[in-house]
Structure 1
């Protein structure tokens, strides 16, 4: 991406925009800039029921409540547009006007998005954050540590086209043996994924994350309540901005001190999105299990039979790896479980998409959104 891309939009302050993750004008954005020459790019830094807070730099944001149907938050007169195609925290809008007259005129296409399937009987997706470069998967080195849950986070992060980094917090209360045990437990889980161990209260320790937080970069924190996400944010900022709370001693569970997603400019030059803890991590059906379980997939490719179920078949490379200690049987179990969940979600997604296609009256094409994607107004 480069600001040299042709555009007729209002002059951009790339330096200020870079402080909130501006990547430059992408090729697929240029037509929207040309269509709205008086508009300015602004990033969604908070989402509320009736509107958004957007910013054009690291200073105070402003509210945008003059919204066409495609941009209204899902809980407010949502119309027919899919909730995940509406703006969310991290999205870039083109905005015209100022103050109370500020109006969103286009949503710039995303280059990445982390989503999960929403709870409920009907298939829905929930957008966690958009236009992310790095996802810090945060886990405490206490009762919060769970390699199987980390695998689920990696599945969602990889599915969104985002680089994951595992951040193990509470190094100040964990002994060297605990840290080493955690690294060993993650040895298979995080092939090609970097692990960083930090004391979230110590600036010098947290500075290990700075290389992912330079100008034009956006990171998101995901993890359970009590894992230390808000403490990390405060230390990166150098001020106590986010509320924090102690975890329960019996199970290391934390309370939801972060109640909504917010994009925060950082002194390092980039920005960070802090999210509430997520206890339910359901795949959307758009993920590729092979991205998170490349080791299991590679072993399966060596089995004698193409349709090997990895149970009792002769020549099963997966069972041989388990018997030799090369593969953790719990990793295989989670691979199977998540593969079934992803396949089920993919089926529900396909059904939902077909229902939407069948509901178009008379087979006529639906109205087009300002960003060129479908959706009735």
Structure 2
């Protein structure tokens, strides 16, 4: 039986330390998720597993069930005597999730414990800046680092123009252009893969996620399909799946997501330009509509900010729990959550004062 070094799959000392509180259980990482069953990679190979009845009873929502990428505690490392049982999910370091359709609060976890999120968008008819803003907002909020991968450059005649459009909204994010018919751009992505690193591929159906992963694997492991007659992608991947790369960490493939409902998002990073402009507005509670000396509206008038981007920003604020709050209030709310266990806003205010002192020095 081949021994698998789980550290190559992202297992860190922090997970190991947390696992020590569970006696007679073993660490594994969820590699695939079905309706009522899972596949888990252990040090002795991949096993089939299910959760305990107690686990099912104690969870408060979909987001607390094991998900692809989770490190879990199981009762065995092989299935010679039956399927394994998942007893606990170890604390996640990052979570990429979206709102469950029809629910106001529950989340569908797409993947966990990710280091880098490859947001894949093709340069043909799938190209959509507003959708990309949504992906970036969730990716920054997840705790992972987003990277934009523009695919199918061979089908686009306006690459430079579209690159400029993406760069205008992808502040502080690396952007790569790739093609399915050549190695262009593909080699430059290899730097993100190494032992212990987890890269998740996110994007709409048919943008070429599986094709890219096959290139990194060096063989056609995942099914791919041609685009339809209307230049839109076909849905190929049907479930989330964690795949081990040869001596270079793991990748997580995900089904296409054209709709991306949001509950929580990091707008301070994905819309850093608007939030920076907001600090220059005359009024602290400026709504950026018709107030005098509004820096955001002035940016729209001089063409340095598009009206569509501002509308996208407003729309995402309405969808998140920060509806009705301006940028300063959102930041205060985030600090309140961050210091909740340390005395709430008193600790937050103390933190802000210390930051102001540092700036004066």
Q: TM-score range by the shorter chain?
A: 0.7 to 0.9
Counterpart pick for 1:271 among 231, 245, 250: 250
Runs of 5+ consecutive residues of structure 1 not aligned to the other structure: 1-12, 73-77, 348-377
Unpaired segments ≥5 residues, structure 2: 326-361
Q: Does 1:88 align with 2:67?
A: yes
Match of 2:33 in 1: 47
1:211 and 2:191 are equivalent in the alignment? yes
TM-score calculated relative to the size of structure 2: 0.82
Sort the Cα spacing of 1:298 and 1:254 in 2 relative to 1 into closer, same or farther, 3 A.
same
2:139 to 136, 140, 157: 157
Do residues 105 (structure 1) and 92 (structure 2) align?
no
Q: Contact 2:59/2:65 (CA < 8 Å) preserved in 1? A: no
For 1:247, which of 206, 213, 227 is the aligned residue?
Answer: 227
How far apart in 2 are the matches of 1:133 and 1:237?
A: 19
Counterpart of 1:133 (choices 111, 115, 120) is 115
- Cα offset for 1:188? 2.2
Q: What is the distance in 2 between the residues matched to 1:240 and 1:346? A: 49
Q: Does 1:329 align with 2:315?
A: no
In the alignment, the residues of structure 1 paired with residue 19 and residue 214 of structure 2 have an alpha-carbon distance, to the nearest angstrom, of 37
TM-score (norm 1): 0.79
- Partner SS for 2:320: helix
TM-fit CA distance, 1:106: 2.3
Q: Secondary structure at the match of 2:299?
A: helix
CA contact (8 A) 1:210 1:268 kept: no
CA shift, 1:184, in A, is: 1.0
Q: How far is 1:185 from its partner?
A: 0.6
Confirm or deny: 8 A CA contact 1:222 1:277 kept in the other structure. Answer: yes
C-alpha distance in 2, partners of 1:302/1:322? Answer: 14
| Structure 1 residue 275: Cα displacement | 0.4
1:21·1:270 contact (CA, 8 Å) conserved in 2? Answer: yes
Deviations 1:265-324 (A, max 9, x none): 11251111010001211111x323222111101101101122222223221111111121
Paired residues in the alignment total 320
Distance 1:235 1:31, change over 3 A: closer
Alpha-carbon contact 1:19-1:265 (below 8 Å) kept: no
Q: 1:290 aligns with which of 228, 253, 268?
A: 268
Alignment pair present for 1:148 and 2:130:
yes
1:114 alignment partner in structure 2: 96
CA distance, structure 1, for counterparts of residue 278 and residue 247 of structure 2: 43
> Are residues 1:63 and 2:48 paired?
yes
Work out whether residues 18 and 269 of structure 1, in 8 Å CA contact, stay in contact via their aligned partners in 2: no
Shift of 1:233: 1.1
Residue in 1 that maps onto 2:328: none
Distance 2:266 2:281 in 1: 21
SS of equivalent residue, structure 1 residue 278: coil
* SS at 1:69 equivalent: helix
2:138–2:266 Cα contact (<8 Å) kept: no
Correspondences of 1:330-369 after superposition (within 5 Å) = 330-343=308-321
Q: Which moved more, 1:95-104 or 1:178-187?
A: 95-104
Q: Choose which of 265, 279, 286 in structure 2 pairs with 1:301.
A: 279
CA distance in 1, matches of 2:195, 2:179: 24
CA distance in 2, matches of 1:226, 1:346: 36
Report the 3-state secondary structure (helix = DSSP H, G, I; strand = E; otherwise coil) of the residue aligned with 1:281: coil
Match among 161, 176, 199 for residue 196 of structure 1: 176
Number of the residue aligned with 1:186: 166
RMSD: 2.3
